[in-house]
Structure 1
Amino acid sequence: MNNAKLGEALRLLGLDQAAARVYLTLLETAPAPLITIAEAAGMDAAELATAYDALVDAGLASAAHADEDVVAPVPPTAGLEILARHRAAEVEESRIAVGGAFESFRRQRLAAYNDDLVEVVTGDAIGPRMRRAWASAREQIRQFESPPYFPLPGATDDALATLARGVTQRVVYSRASLEEPGHLKDVIEPCVRAGEQARVLPSVPVKLVIIDEAYALVSLSIKEADVHNTMLVVQPCGLLSGLMALFELSWQSALPFQGRTTRPGGLPPADRRLLWLLAGGAGDDVIARELGISRRTLFRRLQILMAQLGAANRFQMALQAQRNGWL
């Protein structure tokens, strides 16, 4: 790394230009007396003292031995960790300050202009906006998920990356999501295995993604159109509060996709998948297709599961499966 890049790296960590210059000089001449460092850095004694003290405070320099006048750089691991934490704290404070300033502006200046609280996004702009939304999530994503889907390559990878960052993701899927060819295997199950909390309803009232409590993405394409080409971005307001309340009510009534099993050894994945699809209201043809089996084999598996659960029909089987923690 050249001196310019190293100096910029030190600046980004919070050291001023003078401290960075002294550190570079230390790397080139130390161990050496302070007077030698000052001459090499082109500083007077007072300037050097201030810059050198900043390096000591940052854990990047110290006396080389008993003679405190002879100084040298020290292993930077601990010092860099402290600098990085301080810098992260400063960035967080700045983020809060800017966000708070805009919130104050919005409350004082935009309260009378509801159009500013809802933005319409269409066409090719939808994909990048959705990707930025996932990347911006800090604590929680809440979602109603149903076709039609916007063609966004890598969307599942974005969701998995968000889960890997520790962001909670709660999703209510519609029955149509389970019936979409390949969607259960390629999208839903990988996210559930990665920690997504998933539930299912026969239908969802709207296609919706809520990012923390900051804003929501609302699709206008669920029953009204066959393609996903228009989306609303809803900023904090009464509408956003209503959407969050709608999600929580739906979440409470939705059927969990996955839970603990009380059966020794656990439920075979194929049977658990069958129960998921059945509980979601998928038809026999859809279930057989997703499991890659014939209808005859499907009926045989259903009979075995009903016998294990002591159920006389499919409704009782789904109810007993939920009570036993199989769903």
Structure 2
Amino acid sequence: MRSEQMFSVRGDLELLARTGHFFESVRTEFLCAARDLRTWSQPSARAAVRRRLRASEAVDLTTRKLLSPVALTEEESRDHLRLVRGEGAQVRINGSALPHETIIIDRRVMILAGRETPAGREYTVTTSRTLIDGVHSLFTALWDDSPDLETYVRGDAPHLGAGARAVLDALASGVTDASAARRLGISLRTYRRRVAELMTALEADSRFQAGLRAGAWGLRGRPVG
């Protein structure tokens, strides 16, 4: 990056072209706060950081990933996070949506993810120490208030019986309530009552939120067909 203190790019390819050397040369600290693993989708940047992680003993690199529960809704995502933890990264889960997704590299450059556009997602890149220090402080406050990955996954997971898990699978399948009730061999009224009970057990305000929380806890049900 030349002498700019702040500039914007659109799309992952332009972002990597302008900032890729920072990912390759990270020395002491790599911080990432994101809603889920799709925010930073450029595999070349991920690969660069993982290479530095593997050499962390030599460079004394601290890597911290702060994510929302949405990042845990898919088994593949949970497996990936456990993999990076095994390579030395620290992973914590914050209950908020983390709308202001960011990466801070060595406290010398910060990348803020913005809105999606037809030309790709917009990113703002800055080397302003004042801005970086301010966001770094906010990141640290959220980090200190967030449980690590395994603690979050197992800490508040409710116990679901076979019936509740079958209802959970029916919700995940996307079928209508009437179809789900027939497949489970229960009345429509009983099915909807069990859905309400499941939402209560998961402390969810909607069916969508129930699915997110069940995924975050790694809860799986049996097939309903």
- 1:140–1:211 Cα contact (<8 Å) kept: yes
Distance apart, 1:242 and its partner CA: 0.8
Structure with more relative contact order (C-alpha pairs < 8 Å, separation 6 or more): 2
- C-alpha root-mean-square deviation of aligned residues, in Å? 3.5
14, 23, 26: which one aligns with 1:134: 23
In 1: Cα distance, 2:216 partner to 2:141 partner? 32
- 1:159–1:191 Cα contact (<8 Å) kept: no
Report the 3-state secondary structure (helix = DSSP H, G, I; strand = E; otherwise coil) of the residue aligned with 2:43: coil
Which blocks of at least 5 consecutive residues in structure 1 are unaligned?
1-101, 107-115, 259-271, 297-327
145, 149, 159: which one aligns with 1:253: 145
Identity of aligned residues (%): 17
State the partner residue of 2:130: 238
State the partner residue of 1:201: 94
Matches within 5 A, 1:215-294: 215-221=109-115, 229-258=121-150, 274-275=153-154, 278=157, 285-286=211-212, 287=214, 291=218, 293-294=220-221
Distance apart, 1:214 and its partner CA: 0.8
TM-score by length of 1: 0.43
Matches within 5 A, 1:1-327: 116-123=4-11, 124-129=13-18, 131-147=20-36, 148-166=38-56, 167-179=61-73, 182-185=76-79, 187-202=80-95, 203-221=97-115, 229-258=121-150, 274-275=153-154, 278=157, 285-286=211-212, 287=214, 291=218, 293-294=220-221
Stretches of 4+ aligned residues off by more than 4 angstroms: 224-228, 276-279, 281-284, 288-292
In 1: Cα distance, 2:146 partner to 2:125 partner? 25
The one-character-per-residue Cα deviations of 1:70-118 (angstroms, maximum 9, x if unpaired) are xxxxxxxxxxxxxxxxxxxxxxxxxxxxxxxx9xxx7xxxxxxxxx421
The one-character-per-residue Cα deviations of 1:41-64 (angstroms, maximum 9, x if unpaired) are xxxxxxxxxxxxxxxxxxxxxxxx
In 2: Cα distance, 1:136 partner to 1:284 partner? 41
- 1:141–1:168 Cα contact (<8 Å) kept: yes
In 1: Cα distance, 2:112 partner to 2:216 partner? 31
Larger radius of gyration: 1
Report the 3-state secondary structure (helix = DSSP H, G, I; strand = E; otherwise coil) of the residue aligned with 2:88: coil
